Structure 1
Amino acid sequence: MRVPETMRAVRITAHGGPEVLELTEVAVPAPHAGEALVQIRAVALNNTDLWTRDGAYGRPEDPEARSGWRGPLDFPRIQGADVAGRVVAVGAGVDDGLVGRRVVVDPAIYDSDGPDANPVGLMGSERDGGYAEYVSAPAERVHDVTESPLTDDQLAALPTAYGTALGMIERGRLREGETVLVSGASGGVGLALIQIARARGARVLAISSGSKIDAVREAGAHEVVDRRRDVVEQIRAAAPQGVDVGLDVVAGDLVGEGLPLLREGGRWVVAGALGGYGVSFDVRRLYLHNAQVIGSAMHTPTHFALLMDLARQAAVRPVIAATFPLDQAARAQEELARRNHVGKIVLRPRAGRPTGGGLEDAV
C-alpha cells in the first residue's frame, strides 16, 4: 500500500497534566535497516503513560526528580507502548513477507540481545510510541499474530499489562496448586494476573472493591478481598495456611502488611507503586521465613514470545473497558486516572474510528 508522508500523532513537549498532550501532524517515520513500519489499528493505555507524562518515575539519585521511565525524556515524545496493527513497509534486511501481516509490537527496549534480556527502555518513553497512525519498530520485536481470533483492541491490550503480568508470574515461580494474592485486581495488569494465574492452576485471591468485585470474580478470582474493610483479616480468613506468591502492583503499606501472610519460602513480587513508593516492613519476616521480595519490570523476550503464543490461541482474552479516537487521548488518560473502569482503555488512531468516546462506548 502507499504510505502517506505525514500522519496525525499525539505527543508531549513537557511534563505535566493532560493539557500537555497535543494533537499534531508529523512525518511518518521511515523504517530504517532492520525495522518495520506498522499502521496502527489500536493502542492501549497504561499507568506508565500517566507516570511518563507527569515525569513521576524519579531517578536513583533523586526520587523526587521529574523523569521518564529510565531517565530524562527527549521531547517532543509520542506516547503509547501497546500497539496492534499491520505492517505496511520494511527496512533493509527485513523479510518482505512481513508486509501485510497483523502484528503486535513488543514495546520493551532491552539491555542485550539474549532471550532473558532485561527491559531498560520503553516505546512511548525512550522512543516514540503508538499515539499515532504509524510507528516504526525493530522487526525482531514485531510479532505476527495474523491467525489470532482476538480483536485489534484485545491484541493492543496485551503487551504492557499481560507482559508485566507474565513477567511477575515467571519471576515469582508460580506453580500449579499454589495460592496467589493479586493486588489492584481490577486494573489491566491485575486482570491479566488473575487470568494467567488461574490458567496455571493456582488458587487466586484478589483485592478489589465496590462494583468492581463482580467483574474481578468473572475474570477468574476464587475469592475477592474488599479493600474497604480489613484486608489482612480477610486474607487470613480466605487463606489460613498463608499465601505462596503475592503479585503486587500497589506496594506502599501493602508490602509490610503482606509479608507476614506468606508461607515459608513465599515470594512477594512488586511491579508497581500505585499505593506509594515508600515501603517499610519487618525484615525478620523476610529472613526467618526464607521469603523473597522480587522486583519485576515488564517482561523478557522469552516471556513476550510465550505471551504471543497465548494470543494466537486466544488463551487469554483481555477485557476492554472503553475506546476513544486519537484526538481524545487527553480524555482517555483522564478516564484512566479516575480508575473507575475495569479492564483496558484503548485509542483507535485509524480513519473511520468512532467519533464518540468514553465508557458508554465500551466494547
Structure 2
Amino acid sequence: MTIPERMKAMVLTGHGDLDAYEWREDWPTPQPGPIEVLIRVGACGLNNTDVNTRSGWYSKAVNEATTGGAYGQVDDEDPTWGGAPITFPRIQGADVVGTVVAVGASADPALIGNRVMIDGWQRDWSDPDNKDKTGYFGSECDGGYAEYTKVDPRNMLVVHSDLSDAELATFQCSYTTAEGMLMRAGVDNNDTVLVPGASGGVGGALIQLAKRRGARVIAMAAEAKHADIRQMGPDVILPRAPADLRAALNNEKVTVVADVVGGAMWPQLIDVLERGGRYTCSGAIAGPMVELDLRTFYLRDLTFTGSTVIPPHVFADVVTYIERGEIKPMLAATYPLSQLREAQAAFIAKKHTGNIVVVP
C-alpha cells in the first residue's frame, strides 16, 4: 500500500485542559527506524495515564482528585507518571491495535499485514527488567492518537482473535495494570478480593482476572452500574461508598484490596483487611492524599504493594488470555479520533461502564 506523507493526528501541545489538544490533518507520518515497524492504527483506547499526563496530575504540586481539567499549580519537573518532564508536541495514546504496513531496513518484512497489539511499556531490550529504563507509549514517545504510529516490534505482539480492533483496544492498559496488581499481591484461590471503582476499565479487569485466579471477588460501584458490573462475574456487589464498609461486607473476610481509587474511603478499605492481608494500588482517582494509622498497618501484619511498571511477560500473558477467550472486552463506546476531547470528557465523567476507544 502507499503510505501518505501526512496524516491526521490529535496533538497535545502542553499541559492543560482539553483545549491543549490540537487536531491536525497535515502531521508528518512517522518513518520507521531500521528495526522499527509502521502501524496503521485501527483503534486506540483511552486511559487515565493520558488524562493525568495532559493535566499534570502526577505532579507532587497537585493534591486533589483526578479531574481531567487544568490545575493551578503543576511542577514542570514531575508532571508525568515517571516524575520527569514530557516533550511537546506529543501524540498520546497507549492502547494501540492496528496493522503493520511497513518495516525498517533491518526489520522482518514478514510482519507486514499482521494485526498487532502494542505493549504500553516500552523496554530497553538490553536491560528489559530495569524499571528505570522503561518508558510509556504516548508519553516518552509518540503514541496512537493518529492514523499511523511506529514501534520496536519487540514491544508488540501479533494477536489472533475474532474480536474487533475497538474491542481489542480495551485490553492493554486496563488488563495489564490489573494483572500486575494481582501478581504483586499474590492473589490465588484462597483470597477474597475487594475492588473499589469496579465500573472502570481497571476495576472490571480486576474482577475478571481475580476470578480467573480462583479468588472470590467483591465489587464496589455506583448502584446505577451494578447491572453492567454483574456481567463481569463478581460474587458480591456493594455500593460505591458505603457509610460503614465493614457492616456492608456482612461478615465477608477480605484478604486483598485491589485499589485504583484512594480518596476518602481509603481508611475504611485498610480497616476491613484481615490480619496478614494485602493492599495493592495502581491509582488514586478519588484523591492521592490519605490518612493511615500506622498501628493498623503493623499490628495487623499488612503488606502494601505499589504497581506501575510490570514485567515484560504480563502483556504476553494478557494476549494469551484474550486468544484463549478467558477474558472479555469491556467496550463502552467508540468515538472518532477527531472527537478525542469529547471522548475524554465522557471518560473523565465516568459516563460509561468500561473502556472508551477512539478510531481514526
TM-score of the superposed pair, with normalisation by structure 1: 0.90
Shift of 1:45: 0.5
* Mean CA deviation greater in 9-18 or 280-289: 280-289
1:190 pairs with 2:208: no
Q: Which runs of 5+ in 2 are unaligned?
A: 64-72
- For 1:11 and 1:238, the matched residues in 2 are separated by 50
* Mean CA deviation greater in 258-267 or 211-220: 258-267
Matching residue of 1:137:
151
- Deviation beyond 6 Å, 4+ runs, structure 1: 60-63
The one-letter code matched in structure 1 to 2:75 is A
1:270 pairs with 2:281: yes
> Cα 1:85–1:273, aligned 2, differ >3 Å: closer, same or farther?
same
**Contact 1:150 1:314 survives alignment (8 Å):** no
Give the number of aligned pairs: 346
Matching residue of 2:319:
308
Matching residue of 1:158:
171
Shift of 1:121: 2.4
Please give the secondary structure, in 2, of the residue aligned with 1:219.
Answer: coil
Matching residue of 1:43:
44
- For 1:103 and 1:109, the matched residues in 2 are separated by 15
Matching residue of 1:13:
13
> Cα 1:311–1:280, aligned 2, differ >3 Å: closer, same or farther?
same
1:336 pairs with 2:344: no
- For 2:340 and 2:140, the matched residues in 1 are separated by 20
> Cα 1:94–1:111, aligned 2, differ >3 Å: closer, same or farther?
closer
The one-letter code matched in structure 1 to 2:51 is L
**Contact 1:82 1:159 survives alignment (8 Å):** yes
1:287 pairs with 2:298: yes
Matching residue of 2:70:
none
- For 2:303 and 2:137, the matched residues in 1 are separated by 30
> Cα 1:269–1:235, aligned 2, differ >3 Å: closer, same or farther?
farther
1:261 pairs with 2:272: yes
- For 2:53 and 2:244, the matched residues in 1 are separated by 30
Matching residue of 1:126:
140
* Mean CA deviation greater in 62-71 or 261-270: 62-71
- For 1:8 and 1:50, the matched residues in 2 are separated by 20
**Contact 1:225 1:231 survives alignment (8 Å):** no
The one-letter code matched in structure 1 to 2:119 is D
- For 1:60 and 1:310, the matched residues in 2 are separated by 39
1:65 aligned to which of 64, 67, 75: 75
**Contact 1:112 1:118 survives alignment (8 Å):** no
Shift of 1:231: 4.8
User: What does the per-residue CA deviation read over 1:264-299, in whole Å, with 9 as the maximum and x for residues that have no partner?
Assistant: 221100100111111221112222222111100153
> Cα 1:213–1:132, aligned 2, differ >3 Å: closer, same or farther?
same
**Contact 2:56 2:74 survives alignment (8 Å):** no
Shift of 1:110: 3.5
- Structure 1 residues 316-331: aligned runs within 5 Å: 316-331=327-342
**Contact 2:62 2:74 survives alignment (8 Å):** no
- For 1:15 and 1:61, the matched residues in 2 are separated by 13
User: What does the per-residue CA deviation read over 1:335-358, in whole Å, with 9 as the maximum and x for residues that have no partner?
Assistant: 111112101111011xxxxxxxxx
Please give the secondary structure, in 1, of the residue aligned with 2:231.
Answer: helix
The one-letter code matched in structure 2 to 1:159 is Q
Cα RMSD (Å): 2.0
